[in-house]
Amino acid sequence: MKMTGAQAIIECLKRENVEVIFGYPGGSVLTLYDALQTAKYPHVLPRHEQGAVHAADGYARVTGKVGVCLATSGPGATNLITGIATAYMDSIPMVAITGQVAVSLIGRDSFQEADIRGITTPVTKHNYLIKDVNDLPKAFKEAFFIARTGRPGPVLIDIAKDIFATEIDFEYPEEVNMRGYKPVAEGDITAVEAVYQELSNAKTPLFFVGGGINLSDTSEIMREIVTHTGVPVVSSLMGLGCIPHDDPRYFGMIGMHGTYGGNMSTTETDLLIGLGVRFDDRVTGLLKEFAPKAKVVHFDIDPAEVNKNVRANIRVIGSLEWSLGTLYEKIKNRSSADWHEQFKPWYEKIVAWKKDKPLSYKRDSERILPQSVIESISKITNGEAIIVTDVGQHQMWTAQFFDFKNPRSFLTSGGLGTMGYGVPAALGAQVGKPEKTVVCICGDGGFMMNCQELMAIADLNLPVKIIILNNQYMGMVAQWQRSFYKKNYAHSCLKTKADFVKISEAMGVPALRIDKKEEMVEQLEKALKTEGPVLVEIRIPEDEDVLPMVPAGARLDQMIMGGS
């Protein structure tokens, strides 16, 4: 088929079943935008390129599909970098398309030229610079294959401006054959057998689930394994939702702001089985004292992750669909009653830890406390909402006090910790799951970083509910300054004459403010059940801390606890 490069790109996107693009036009991509408009291709216009990439990220996280974003050359492309890095750190499948100056102008410091391929090399699985229109079909076929297979991640395709108008005899490849990239789903079955033997002999085993369970859609089989064996389970931040929070075997998140039961069980376990986790520093605390009594098992599709932070006694490399399925078949050879009896004393010990020191806060306070806000949202939505957070204290309170029931229901920037992620990611999540309730929980600091996306939400009339927990500080920064810098609040105070309700209404999103405790639940209920978008600002105390907290460099059992 004869067509232009721009038309070829649209055909590539159709072949890859791309439902929507999140993009922002500019000079280098105008020919492509002309073709998109002519083809009536589904497109969402955020109000900033960073908004576009975070929206594509949110879309990918809730749907499991590859998110696609589009920007022009130079500043348009560089505005994508933070979002690409966010996706890379959390293994989110994405294809970012950028325009580049014309082939003859590349390398001449031309107007709006940037070496986006060089800039993004450290934060992409792969990237391309297209200077020949005939390379387009192969590049797109490979890009989507790379983004969604193996350990998922972002791929960038940079396309010279004149390629969009150049004619091509289009033919789309039927398969991908890349010599340097051969993801393998099935690994060594003897490693799974070794895990089974260790589990059979263990007295105090612990499952540790991470974002890989969510990304591989293996939550259901993981739940079956936990139910059948009765082995206690904890999660990373990215693993929230893999196991329902009301499951009696689930003991919460571990790490810096983990639960007492979760952190103590990690300290005392004799067999720690990590599944789709990175063992990052926020989880381990003092690395040399992490899980000191345990043999460590690491299930992961990416061999580069194994032994990177925590040395594994057994490594199981391969897709979690394969490895967990294989393990479950072996586990089923013993009755559930036998497994439960084996681990009953261990389970009861963790239950005692949980009862002794549960997550708590001053419930009788006359002030609106953020923990009570999160609990209220959880009860009103019955734990069924898709929750998107920005980064900071509110992120940790949400992780601690929202009772997640479903996988792919908690969207947050875990690895990079990107402020400004929340609002645009919620936009993308709502586009991906229009039938779901999407709630974005922000702090006053992060909200302002991409608040312009309220305009996109309003224009599309997306029913996103945005909750700002406003303590008039960069909350987590101020908490660290309180705890470790003698309350020297160096440039973390955000007290301002600006009015979030007016800002929201000016951008087309109805808004309200809650500042009375007795009205909080009723007002939240009203907002969450209102059709269309709503923003709610809730004033919370400026000195409330996220607790428990493991200080940097401390062991997981050296937690600073909160009080009720």
Catalytic residue among 14, 111, 167, 293: 111
What order of strands is seen across the sheet that includes strand 94-100? 43-44, 21-23, 67-71, 94-100, 154-160, 126-130
- Helix axis angle, 453-460 relative to 49-63, nearest 10°? 60
Catalytic status, residue 400: no
Catalytic residue among 11, 16, 49, 142: 49
- Residue 534 burial (10 A CB sphere; 0-12, 13-18, 19+): buried
Catalytic status, residue 112: yes
Catalytic status, residue 111: yes
Identify the H or E element spanning 350.
helix 336-356
CB 12 within 8 A of CB 172: yes
Q: Taking the chain, what is the end-to-end CA distance rounded to the nearest angstrom? A: 69
Vertex 46: Cα angle to 40 and 51 (nearest 5): 135
**Residue 157, both tokens:** 């395709």
Catalytic status, residue 476: yes
CB 441 within 8 A of CB 422: yes
CB 399 within 8 A of CB 240: yes
288-300 burial, b at 16+ Cβ within 10 Å, e below that, comes to eebbeebbbbbbb
> In angstroms, rounded to a whole number, what is the distance separating the alpha carbons of residues 103 and 181?
28
**Residue 350, both tokens:** 């963790």
Of residues 277, 275, 273, the one with CA closest to residue 255: 277
Catalytic residue among 476, 507, 520, 549: 476
Catalytic status, residue 161: yes
Q: Other C-beta atoms within 10 Å of 170: how many? A: 18
Which SS3 state, helix, strand or coil, does residue 298 take?
strand
**Residue 218, both tokens:** 């293996």
69-96 burial, b at 16+ Cβ within 10 Å, e below that, comes to bbbbbbebbbbbbbbbbbbbbbbbbbbb
Q: Other C-beta atoms within 10 Å of 515: how many? A: 14
Catalytic residue among 65, 125, 141, 161: 161
Contacts of 424 (CB under 8 A, 6+ apart): 46, 48, 50, 51, 52, 54, 55, 58, 450, 453
Catalytic residue among 7, 50, 100, 112: 112
16-37 burial, b at 16+ Cβ within 10 Å, e below that, comes to bebebbbbbbbebbebbbebbe
Instruction: State the residue for tokens 């009594």.
Output: 293
Full DSSP string of 420-478: T-HHHHHHHHHHH-TTS-EEEEEEHHHHHHSTTHHHHHHHHT---EEEEEE-SB-HHHH
Which residues form the catalytic set? 49, 111-112, 161, 476
